[in-house]
Amino acid sequence: MVLSKGKQKVAIRRYKIGSNKKLITFRNLIASLSAAEIKKAYGLLNLLTRYSSRQTDFTTRIVQAIPLENTLAKWDLIPQAVIARPLEAFTRHVNSRISSGFDSLDEYSGVAFAMDGAPFAVMHYKGHPPETSTIYLPRDFSAVPEITNFIRQIMTRFELPTESVVWQRKDNPEL
């Protein structure tokens, strides 16, 4: 549909007025924040930009499968949560394949994903209890609240009950 010049000007004016109202509301919201809230918001924005160059809707988490071998080679991954679910629970909603291999610890099976650009792996080592999976995040995730939030987002995105989290970093932060 092509708008006439007059209708284009009216549409642009309405858009600018609406944008100005949004900016005023946003400015007032920022002015009402405490220094601690601003610092936390800045940290979250930093994390988002660190792992994703695209803008995303904060309610929709884009998850894609990535090669486990590449993820293990590229990132220094740290175990951050143990889930009482097999690896297959993570492959139901995102088309991915379980890979197997071995490292200095033991034999393992696992999958890797990127959620909004942030990589993570879900693995099961041969010596671990059956029907469990461990979520590994890059070392860049260092703040316990940040780790806890990301684990919660993973659980939500893969439609796993929070009760299936057997252990997570916030339970023992000094590890």
pLDDT (tens, 9 = 90+) of the chain, 175 residues, equals 555 666 556 555 655 565 566 667 766 777 777 777 777 766 666 666 665 544 444 445 689 999 999 999 999 999 999 999 999 999 988 888 999 999 887 899 999 999 988 999 999 999 899 999 999 999 988 889 999 999 999 999 999 999 999 999 888 777 6
The whole-model pTM stands at: 0.65
b/e 1-25 (16+ beta carbons within 10 angstroms → b): eeeeeeeeeeeeeeeeeeeeeeeee
Residues contacting 91, CB < 8 A, separation 6+: 97, 98, 111
Decide: helix, strand or coil at residue 101: strand
Q: Which of 108, 102, 104 is nearest to 127 (CA)?
A: 108
Distance CA 128, CA 171 (A): 19
